[in-house]
């Protein structure tokens, strides 16, 4: 089994370039199914999840080719199926995003109930509610969702009970080819939503309001191919910013969009870290120990749930007591027991975790239970005294391109190994 071994207490210093966004590229790959023309995608991160999504559309009959250094050329002109394989869908929840494009283009789809990280129920009811509002007949049977829409979906008003990112994306893609206008109220406003809307519009779609709580999609009869560069990964950027502060380092995080990181930057500044926007990036410097702060995860533009675990790792050695409140997913504290193995003082009370900062963590064998938990353990290992060995690193590979190489370039003593 592969693992990551870290010799801690090294202060990160230097420059790191952030890759394209995992959470943006996955729905954009799915959106390529909306047209039979070729699409060209740039700044694609080399990740296990990207390989999985390419595998999903490839099994449907799409043709996926590497293009340049970090690009993909996708042609969906000869799709053979409207049922993605269970093997892929159970592995990654984002595979469910092919539902909207397939339903919009072919009028029918059959997809298994999704899998992914075990961080909570993350029900698909909002996805199905949106498809039903657009005129699809939905049937759930034996672990599969079947949807039929006849010749064409119909525009409608859709109100989301919660601003779900995945549901907003799926409905937006389905509505792109619907007859009439669709309005999504209480829509998610994450930057990845805006990136998907920009891609759909580049294909000839008519999406307005992306990034706000009300998105309008005027359906068109067909979309054409386009070229699109994916936005930088704000979660990867935030992870390196937290790692820089947590180790008392000095790191310039390059290829970022600062407005996407306001909540993380504000909380890092509260801890005493110094942040400066420089040409091409954000410089993070810190002197240890940092100060304790409270955080509460919220839909964008609030503090992102995808940064909660990493920030908690930083708080384990901050001066004073902190409280982390998780409001998005009910099971996103699985990293706590692993951090406690390293000496962290954390008590969970319902949706809150109380962290009493200690002078240091001690390296130990730990296990990545999900993607962001794995990133948190990497940060903890960088902070800790002695060696930390992190197993189940396939979770980390789902969302971080060349994490070990990038950390090595910043001076960390970290390697991939076998255990």
**Could you give the domains of the chain?**
2-19+232-418 (3.65.10.10), 22-229 (3.65.10.10)
Percent of the chain topping pLDDT 70:
97
Q: What pLDDT, on a 0 to 100 scale, did the predictor assign at position 93? A: 78
Which token pair is 327?
């409001």
122 is in an annotated binding site: yes
The DSSP letter of residue 161 is S
- In the predicted structure, residue 321 carries a pLDDT above the cut 60: yes
Distance CA 113, CA 346 (A): 34
- Angle (CA) 197-400-335 rounded to 5° is 105
Distance CA 103, CA 171 (A): 10
11 is in an annotated binding site: no
123 is in an annotated binding site: yes
Q: What is the dihedral of CA 295, 297, 298, 300, to 10 degrees?
A: 90
**What is the CB-side half-sphere exposure of residue 380 using CA atoms within 13 A?**
36
Q: What are phi and psi of 168, to 5 degrees?
A: -60, -45
Q: What pLDDT, on a 0 to 100 scale, did the predictor assign at position 113? A: 79
Q: What is the dihedral of CA 285, 287, 292, 298, to 10 degrees?
A: 10
Q: Which residue has the tokens 């050329």?
A: 73
Q: What SS3 state is found at 189?
A: coil
328 is in an annotated binding site: yes
Give the closest residue to 284 by CA, choosing from 304, 321, 314.
Answer: 314
- In the predicted structure, residue 118 carries a pLDDT above the cut 50: no
125 is in an annotated binding site: yes
- In the predicted structure, residue 116 carries a pLDDT above the cut 70: no
**What is the CB-side half-sphere exposure of residue 203 using CA atoms within 13 A?**
32
- Provide the residue count of the chain: 419
- In the predicted structure, residue 119 carries a pLDDT above the cut 90: no
Specify which residues 20 forms β-bridges with: 232
Q: What pLDDT, on a 0 to 100 scale, did the predictor assign at position 44? A: 98
Mean pLDDT across the chain? 94
CB-count burial class (<10 Å; 0-12, 13-18, 19+) for 252: buried
Alpha helices (H) along 134-186:
165-175
- Which tens digit of pLDDT belongs to each residue from 192-232? 999 999 999 999 999 999 999 999 999 999 999 999 999 99
Q: What residues contact residue 345 under an 8 Å CB cut-off, 6+ apart? A: 316, 355, 356, 357, 358
124 is in an annotated binding site: yes
Q: pLDDT band for 115, please (50, 70, 90 cuts).
A: low
23 is in an annotated binding site: yes
Distance CA 378, CA 364 (A): 12
Q: pLDDT band for 234, please (50, 70, 90 cuts).
A: very high
**Average pLDDT, stretch 293-321?**
97
- Which tens digit of pLDDT belongs to each residue from 127-167? 999 999 999 999 988 788 899 998 899 999 999 999 999 99
Residue-wise DSSP of 228-274: EEPPB-HHHHHHHHHHHHHTT-EEEEES--GGGGHHHHHHHHHHT-E
306 is in an annotated binding site: yes
Which listed residue (32, 39, 117, 392) is catalytic? Answer: 117
The answer to which of 86-100, 146-160, 288-302 has the lowest mean pLDDT is: 86-100
Q: What are phi and psi of 277, to 5 degrees?
A: -80, 120
**What is the CB-side half-sphere exposure of residue 69 using CA atoms within 13 A?**
4
- In the predicted structure, residue 124 carries a pLDDT above the cut 90: no
Asked if 39 is an active-site residue, the reply is: no
**Average pLDDT, stretch 248-265?**
98
- Which tens digit of pLDDT belongs to each residue from 356-386? 999 999 999 999 999 999 999 999 999 999 9
């Amino acid at each position: 089994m592969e693992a990551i071994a870290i010799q801690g207490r090294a202060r990160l210093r230097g420059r790191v370039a952030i890759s394209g966004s995992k959470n943006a590229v996955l729905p954009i790959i799915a959106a390529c199914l909306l047209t039979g023309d070729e699409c060209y995608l740039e700044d694609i991160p080399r990740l296990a999840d990207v390989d999985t999504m390419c595998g999903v559309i490839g099994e449907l009959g799409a043709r996926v080719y590497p293009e340049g250094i970090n690009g993909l050329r996708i042609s969906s002109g000869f799709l053979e199926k409207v049922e993605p394989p269970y093997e892929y869908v159970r592995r990654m929840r984002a595979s469910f995003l092919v539902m909207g494009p397939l339903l919009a283009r072919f009028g029918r789809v059959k997809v298994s109930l999704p899998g992914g990280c075990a961080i909570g129920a993350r029900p698909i009811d909002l996805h199905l509610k949106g498809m039903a509002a657009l005129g699809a007949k939905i049937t759930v049977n034996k672990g599969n969702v079947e949807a039929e829409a006849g010749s064409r979906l119909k525009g409608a008003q859709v109100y989301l009970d919660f601003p779900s990112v995945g549901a907003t994306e799926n409905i937006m893609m389905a509505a792109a080819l619907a007859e009439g206008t669709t309005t999504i109220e209480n829509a998610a406003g994450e930057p990845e939503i805006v990136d998907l809307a920009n891609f759909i519009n580049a294909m000839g779609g008519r999406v307005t309001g992306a990034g706000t709580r009300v998105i309008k999609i005027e359906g068109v009869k067909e979309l054409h191919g386009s070229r699109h560069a994916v936005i930088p990964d704000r979660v990867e950027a935030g992870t390196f910013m937290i790692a820089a502060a947590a180790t008392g380092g000095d790191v310039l995080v390059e290829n970022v969009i600062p407005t996407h990181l306001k909540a993380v930057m504000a909380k890092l500044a509260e801890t005493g870290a110094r942040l400066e926007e420089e040409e091409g990036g954000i410089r993070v410097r810190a002197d240890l120990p940092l100060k304790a702060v409270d955080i509460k995860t919220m839909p964008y533009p609030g503090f992102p749930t995808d940064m909660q675990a990493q920030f908690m790792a930083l708080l384990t050695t901050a001066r004073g007591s902190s409280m982390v409140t998780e409001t998005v997913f009910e099971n996103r504290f699985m990293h706590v027991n692993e951090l406690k193995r390293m000496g962290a003082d954390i008590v969970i009370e319902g949706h809150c975790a109380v962290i009493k900062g200690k002078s240091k963590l001690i390296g130990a064998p730990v296990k990545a239970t999900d993607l962001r938990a794995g990133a948190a353990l990497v940060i903890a290992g960088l902070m800790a005294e002695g060696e930390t060995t992190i197993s189940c690193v396939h979770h980390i590979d789902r969302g971080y391109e060349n994490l070990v190489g990038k950390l090595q370039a910043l001076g960390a003593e970290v390697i991939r190994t076998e255990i």
